[in-house]
Structure formats: structure tokens, C-alpha cells
Amino acid sequence: DQQVKQNSPSLSVQEGRISILNCDYTNSMFDYFLWYKKYPAEGPTFLISISSIKDKNEDGRFTVFLNKSAKHLSLHIVPSQPGDSAVYFCAATGKRGDMRFGAGTRLTVKP
């Protein structure tokens, strides 16, 4: 049973607009959440993270929001650029550091 769920397999947005990628988790023991970006034929690369003691973390065009009561997090990309087109994975971990990943959302940013 997947502990981290990304219910949207794909998302398409226009260049310059906002991209919002969503993620839900079921395990209340998770206390650290990460987003990874993956291009074809490459391993995932770390994008941004958030600790459970925060509800928002921002890094340039990327912002992650965490709603602990709803067990939900989202990644906002503003403005979206064609180079952002990739598969985005949500991940969660607890004290042991072993991570659980969602199924991924393929983002396409159209020029």
C-alpha cells in the first residue's frame, strides 16, 4: 500500500503560469518531505524540502506547502518555464531516513 500518493499522473501548463503539483501521505510518522525532479535517462535530483515543523519553504521559483492536518503537500512553480518539463516525485521520510516516494507527476510546460 503506497504511503505517498500523487494522484495526477500528468499536468500541462503554459509557460509563465503557475504549476501546482500535489501529494498526499498516510503515515503520520513522516516528518520530512522532499520533492525530486527527474529527466529521462537520469537519476532523480533533489529540488526542495520541508520539515514537519514548517508549513512553507521557498527557494526561488519553487515553493513547497505542507498541511499536516490534511497530510497534504504541494509544490508551486512560478513562473513555469519549458525547462521545468520533467517528472516530479514527492517523497517522505521519518527518523530512520528511509524514504517513500509517490508515483510521480509528469509536468509539461508549453512555450
Partner 1 sequence: DVKVTQSSRYLVKRTGEKVFLECVQDMDHENMFWYRQDPGLGLRLIYFSYDVKMKEKGDIPEGYSVSREKKERFSLILESASTNQTSMYLCASSLSLGISYEQYFGPGTRLTVT
Residues that bind partner 1 (CB under 8 A): 2, 4, 6, 9, 32, 34, 36, 41-46, 49, 89, 91, 93, 95-104
- Residue where the block lists cell 494522484: 7
Q: Shortest Cβ distance from residue 9 to partner 1 (Å)?
A: 7
CA-to-CA dists, residue 59 to 5, 20, 47, 64, 90, angstroms: 23, 15, 9, 9, 16
What CA–CA distance (Å, rounded) separates 5 from 82? 25
Nearer to partner 1, 73 or 104 (CB): 104
The amino acid that residue 60 corresponds to is G
Nearer to partner 1, 9 or 16 (CB): 9
Nearer to partner 1, 42 or 83 (CB): 42
